[in-house]
Structure 1
């Protein structure tokens, strides 16, 4: 809509929907176009105009591109809530995908990719196949991205219809933008799959490097990020890649520059020639420096990336330290980052310049910045032994200014300097003791007390100084109390005269009787026992030589640093955290269980109930939220969790969901009670997970033992190992007193996965309009994930058993299980998709061989040994999926009981 269309947003008439309906069906084109604009305006401000679906879709048959775009926009928004009606639009899509105008062909295919409705997905395949081979590059590049969106909805369909191969073919396309989009789509698909889908070979490498020169800037970013995953075969190939990528360093877009830097840094690891490495370091410095002339937000992102780069290769910016000097008008977050980098780049050659800067910063008005500057001086002293004396003299000058927080920070870092250089600078202790009265912060007090205790023999009035702190011992924070306790013991061991003896009695009494801090109490008891039984042993423990502390300016572990450098120009390099620590569902290194529990095409995509119809669907870029290039147009902000926590949106959540075929009414044996009526104030909830016709359901029963009607039932599931979430709204009619209701709630897996080792815990929250939220725990039996085609041929079973190494075999006894009949057991196991393969006799024991499979096809090869009618069953399993074995045994124990 253009600027003069703002009038459409001011419709406040009563009876607006009927009027719009009439206008949408007008015989006049202009009137219909105006009506569609009004509908889009109403939709934009949050009004529900879904009831006009059929009328708006009827307007699709138009040659007017603007009108068609508006109708498609409406369709994307409401197709999810009206899937049956959305099918009406399919014919127009198919027709538009063959329109003579390439803009309309591309628009059709783009819209079809955004409509996340399973029923429509199948109709999308033929037009998409045509568009991937379209004569017009604009259509081909749009179709490439559509494949990635389709993969997110139904991965199996994409693989079966050969779209992945078509995408790989597009890498050889003669249009660089088509190549870039094909690479972007393949990279996104790879991020949501654990199988190798997009592997760059030396053949595709040259094609990508060629396309790099002619792409748009974001095309270059996609290609560079994909190239960063390629490991060169040798130094020569690495040099060739670097040579082709180096011109990108001159690009105006920061994201292109950082992506190029990332590749060069990774390939430099393989380059053996020191001259080539030195030249590359020289070439990388100017573009990195240029990033610091951008606006503050870009500067900050650049600085966070530079912070990582200088930890790996400090020589790149060793001569550029002046560009990191803080300007008076820099925002505080930029200043703090610059300080960090200055500490890392400080050397004997530039320390005088750096100290002058830090000293100046220590007189600024921003307290946090001043503190960091003072601490930076101390960190430079610890890092550079030859400059330590100059750093200390600057700190002493700052202490003389007598600004409270400056003095306190100085004392904190001087304590560390004493630990770094023992018996070297203790002559300044007298100066420090003059500032005792000004100390009021726990860390500064603790540091000063440590200094007094550590050097008690050099301080004539050490006992008086400590006594002044002891007066307030009970009110002090734990940090100060612990230091006071240790310092007093040190003083007593060094000067066992009458004064310290009385002090130690008072302190030990305070620390054992008057405190409820277990750390303080335990330390005091240990000291007390040491002092009373063996004072010499106490000296060995308390006055032992301390290890010298080391420079902490490069705090990151080398393996984490390498991982972060491989993620330069993404959120990961800004947060300084690996992607999997803040992006849910990101694929880290492929693990055995990832193959089983990745999003599969079997379930399709189903939105969790906490998202409304109008809400944006979860990022189609599964696991790539961390890979948002800097300043990407329309880039995602740091990703929110895939679903709210357990409390979630229980209060008034929007439960509009794609309608699903209703399963048969639940029946069968009584369900386990999970919320007894005594806990639920009269409401009793029983439930368990079950599998029917290849779909997981939550079979749940409510019994109303209260005196009032209960209605408005809602349910929410916390994050869990399998990401199980409700696939639809809970359908429970109002419950009269004394009534009960049982329903099957469709579940969708892999929506809300919790990190950590696999476990079977399912935390559930249920609310209704009359009662508070009820929380209870349930178990996820692994067998609800066993698929219907899990039966193996005998030969496949034997080959599988032999091919798996011995450390993949696990055994467990089920003492409480008993097999009363082989046939009945086999039948019961088959009902849970554990399929019988063969049996044999071993003495008086029966040995059964069975198989079961999880969604992605990694099988469990099972051997059950038992004596019919005698308690005690032995279960052995061989599988590549080791992490799931404990949950597998839990399931098998349940099934054989």
Structure 2
């Protein structure tokens, strides 16, 4: 009869009956009772009260019953650690049982019970099992070492188990070797010291075991081979020859792992013919992956994407296998398109364009858009094909399909930017399709084309005027582009656009709630008010040619991802430490975290400790910094619920917003000139002729940044001859990373390249190459790296940012981590007027409201001084009101990535506690913002 009957027991008194059955002298009845207990445990019932009775059933020679009891003990040992110790004698006895299955089962179960009391008794049985005569017991014990290391690393190291594991790499049984490799690899990833080293001695043993172990054992060994760097070209060729037969394996994981090994070892091979031969050998197995089920195809395509970027010659003649089939899932089609673009060249571009044109007529709108964009990317990538691509796009425009026409216009705009002055003859065709434009990106592209070639379009002012009529209803993307294009038209044909430019500037600066649009409007207004020729030089300057980099990864990241082929890292296209929290010891780059007593901050830390990193072991930030971050961590763990006090702005006499007034005077006389601007936004304190706020040109400055207190990120001992210190700062309205590079290598360093990995703030360097001179030995240089915040924001929130730096000519790579200070993202354009403040407060849901009582730790303070301090950090006061013995102030904050925070601070007379109530659309960032406001009020950052 099926065992399903055990899951249908719901009668009363069941526990009492089970106790009696477990005490039975008949083994069959005991086994039935234990099965019922396991069934109840499986469906979620609490049967822990039977722990002692089940434990008594361990003394049996029936293997099935013993397995069931062991399963129960593993599940409930944590709840009953004192009772679990009673099973130790049985475990030790079973570990020396004549039956190898029972010996292996005993040591495996002890390793799975995460109780310290039992762990102490595991050492001796484990030691004997690691040297057992039966290979099944040895391979089970090898895995048990990794489990024990996860519980008590010091115990494993002190007992010498790591040395025994390394010795097992030469075991006569291939499965024992594979399990030893798997165990050592897992331990090595989390260990603070390198415990798994492949050298010439054990390399041959691993290669010998490779041919005989199971498919997953082969995967473990192949992944381990990637840790070894061959001594010379001959050794690399030898390993490639031994690994190449794995390319014919039926398991896709084995194939990809073999490809990963070959990709690494071919970098050392110096014979071009050998490299060419093995690149040719890798093509068929990769193509075979595309004949499997869609999920495997997708995984294969994500890995092929990396392989093609690294070595395009491997699949340069296999274009047709990436042609999309009618029944391919959309996610497979998208990946195939990307690879087709990468493999496109002058020889195959004709057949590629025919495919793309065919795809552009399909019914899947998302795929059609992607296909049309692919045509434009091919035109940008291959100059000789640009004319054919333009013709294909014009043919698609003639179809009059709305979304096809709009995508075609978007990509043609990019082609114009790549080849200026070459294809302007098609502008008339584009202008004939203005009525079909209803998407913001397509409208913005068409407006850009009209503004860029306004001198060649006779009715450019009429076309732009038609867009201007609906200016207030357009998206911000269209508004920004329309403002720029009308200014371009005015600079090229002043008479036709004088009234139009006045209208658009008025609407941008006076009637718009978008601070980005207002800022751009004031910039143009200042330019035009000051010097017409200077405005032409700035706005009509020659733009740099664009290139297709949408699918190209940075070399540092690409090399790391290639070394992680056949893992999740190669599917996500992210380094493993960005999504695997346990990689805090040895990471794939070869850096290790130092011990806790070290002075320097760890390279990588667990997400659970991300708020402690900023002040950990760093005396430069003051003695209380670590305490405050710990307080913040506790605050984030608290669930904020319940209704909060309503802001009640409707009853306030808000008065006039803080800020200065000023005027912009037209240099063109009273007829059609610029109107007087009565109120300057508070973020622009300069006079109209003062252009100092534009002096930050996005280039890295040497020694010209703000004076900030830097922390050591990489020490000379850890950085192999370089010391890197740094801190984030806000300077001239932009975020910058202030670095000091000290060369201790004994040789000059000529060039530096920096990279940020994806982070929760979307920040990245504007230019990866640092603009600084060569640094001689024992010399240092200060460099200011401008930072942009337009990147992708990664969740969940992590205040730590992982970075990488490459030093030339040595190609040395360094990896470090910095805690990002949130206040540097507070934007100068964050002040709202009272109506917008009230409207925004009401529009944000009540569940996005938080409150906190902030303890003021300053010896002396007053509301004015705190408000001035907040204003200096771009926390803008909107209104202040006094009532009886309390004073309430409202503030607004905007970050560079357009996140708003609305704050109300209530100060009570003679009290050192201020009530902070705030709202924001970005719930994830609210705890971090709350902590930042606390530190700003107390003048600690």
Deviation at 1:550, TM superposition (A): 1.1
C-alpha change, 1:32 and 1:642, in structure 2 (3 Å) is farther
Q: What's the secondary structure of 2:126's corresponding residue? A: helix
Aligned twin of 1:483 = 481
Aligned twin of 2:335 = 337
Deviation at 1:185, TM superposition (A): 0.4
The answer to whether the 8 A contact 2:193-2:592 is kept is no
The structure 2 residue matched to 1:100, chosen from 98, 101, 107, is 98
Deviation at 1:478, TM superposition (A): 1.1
Q: How does 1:411-810 map to 2 (within 5 A)?
A: 411-497=409-495, 499-552=496-549, 554-587=551-584, 588=587, 589=589, 593-596=593-596, 720-721=611-612, 762-765=632-635
C-alpha change, 1:770 and 1:574, in structure 2 (3 Å) is closer
Deviation at 1:522, TM superposition (A): 1.4
C-alpha change, 1:883 and 1:803, in structure 2 (3 Å) is closer
Q: Does 1:230 align with 2:266?
A: no
Structure 2 unaligned segments of length 5 or more: list them: 599-603, 616-625, 645-715, 726-814, 821-941
Q: What's the secondary structure of 2:564's corresponding residue? A: coil
Aligned twin of 2:34 = 36
The structure 1 residue matched to 2:369, chosen from 365, 368, 371, is 371
C-alpha change, 1:166 and 1:806, in structure 2 (3 Å) is closer
The structure 2 residue matched to 1:210, chosen from 208, 211, 230, is 208
Give me the whole-angstrom Cα distance separating, in 2, the residues matched to 1:250 and 1:260. 10
Deviation at 1:594, TM superposition (A): 4.1
C-alpha change, 1:722 and 1:519, in structure 2 (3 Å) is closer
| 1:200-245 Cα shifts (integer Å, max 9, x gaps) | 0111101101110101000000000000111111111111111111
Which stretch shows the higher mean deviation, 304-313 or 42-51? 42-51
Give me the whole-angstrom Cα distance separating, in 1, the residues matched to 2:475 and 2:640. 46
Q: What's the secondary structure of 1:59's corresponding residue? A: helix
The answer to whether the 8 A contact 1:57-1:71 is kept is yes
Q: Does 1:61 align with 2:59?
A: yes
Give me the whole-angstrom Cα distance separating, in 1, the residues matched to 2:299 and 2:816. 40
Aligned twin of 2:186 = 188
TM-score by length of structure 1 reads 0.68
Aligned twin of 1:355 = 353
Q: How does 1:282-361 map to 2 (within 5 A)?
A: 282-361=280-359
The answer to whether the 8 A contact 1:179-1:208 is kept is yes
Q: What's the secondary structure of 1:365's corresponding residue? A: coil
Q: What's the secondary structure of 2:206's corresponding residue? A: helix
Deviation at 1:533, TM superposition (A): 2.1
Deviation at 1:352, TM superposition (A): 1.1
C-alpha change, 1:146 and 1:357, in structure 2 (3 Å) is same
Aligned twin of 1:794 = none
C-alpha change, 1:556 and 1:473, in structure 2 (3 Å) is same
Deviation at 1:344, TM superposition (A): 0.4
Aligned twin of 1:163 = 161
Give me the whole-angstrom Cα distance separating, in 2, the residues matched to 1:200 and 1:496. 73
The answer to whether the 8 A contact 2:613-2:819 is kept is no
Give me the whole-angstrom Cα distance separating, in 2, the residues matched to 1:551 and 1:883. 30
Deviation at 1:21, TM superposition (A): 1.3
Give me the whole-angstrom Cα distance separating, in 2, the residues matched to 1:111 and 1:37. 18
Deviation at 1:582, TM superposition (A): 1.2
| 1:330-377 Cα shifts (integer Å, max 9, x gaps) | 111111000100000111111111111111111111111111011001
| 1:95-141 Cα shifts (integer Å, max 9, x gaps) | 11111111111111111111011111010000000000000000000
| 1:463-510 Cα shifts (integer Å, max 9, x gaps) | 11101110111121111111000100111111111x311100100000
Give me the whole-angstrom Cα distance separating, in 1, the residues matched to 2:17 and 2:614. 45
Higher relative contact order (CA 8 A, sep 6+): 1
Aligned twin of 1:149 = 147
Deviation at 1:722, TM superposition (A): 7.0
C-alpha change, 1:196 and 1:175, in structure 2 (3 Å) is same
Q: What's the secondary structure of 2:634's corresponding residue? A: strand
C-alpha change, 1:401 and 1:597, in structure 2 (3 Å) is farther
The answer to whether the 8 A contact 2:303-2:571 is kept is yes
The answer to whether the 8 A contact 1:592-1:882 is kept is no
RMSD, matched Cα: 3.0
The answer to whether the 8 A contact 1:109-1:127 is kept is yes
Q: What's the secondary structure of 2:445's corresponding residue? A: helix
Give me the whole-angstrom Cα distance separating, in 1, the residues matched to 2:45 and 2:490. 77
Aligned twin of 1:824 = none
Give me the whole-angstrom Cα distance separating, in 2, the residues matched to 1:64 and 1:272. 61
C-alpha change, 1:216 and 1:597, in structure 2 (3 Å) is farther
Deviation at 1:18, TM superposition (A): 1.3
| 1:599-634 Cα shifts (integer Å, max 9, x gaps) | xxxxxxxxxxxxxxxxxxxxxxxx9xxxxxxxxxxx
Aligned twin of 1:257 = 255
Deviation at 1:721, TM superposition (A): 3.4
The answer to whether the 8 A contact 2:236-2:268 is kept is yes
Give me the whole-angstrom Cα distance separating, in 2, the residues matched to 1:766 and 1:408. 46
Structure 1 unaligned segments of length 5 or more: list them: 599-622, 624-640, 644-716, 725-755, 775-800, 811-880, 887-897
C-alpha change, 1:179 and 1:765, in structure 2 (3 Å) is same
Aligned twin of 1:116 = 114
C-alpha change, 1:806 and 1:398, in structure 2 (3 Å) is closer
| 1:130-188 Cα shifts (integer Å, max 9, x gaps) | 00000000000000000000000000000111100110110010000000000100000
Deviation at 1:380, TM superposition (A): 0.6
C-alpha change, 1:381 and 1:159, in structure 2 (3 Å) is same
C-alpha change, 1:257 and 1:883, in structure 2 (3 Å) is closer
Give me the whole-angstrom Cα distance separating, in 2, the residues matched to 1:403 and 1:270. 52
Deviation at 1:805, TM superposition (A): 12
Deviation at 1:807, TM superposition (A): 9.7
| 1:533-556 Cα shifts (integer Å, max 9, x gaps) | 211111101111110101225420
Deviation at 1:86, TM superposition (A): 0.6
Deviation at 1:768, TM superposition (A): 10
| 1:831-878 Cα shifts (integer Å, max 9, x gaps) | xxxxxxxxxxxxxxxxxxxxxxxxxxxxxxxxxxxxxxxxxxxxxxxx
Deviation at 1:806, TM superposition (A): 13
The answer to whether the 8 A contact 1:381-1:387 is kept is yes
The answer to whether the 8 A contact 1:597-1:722 is kept is no
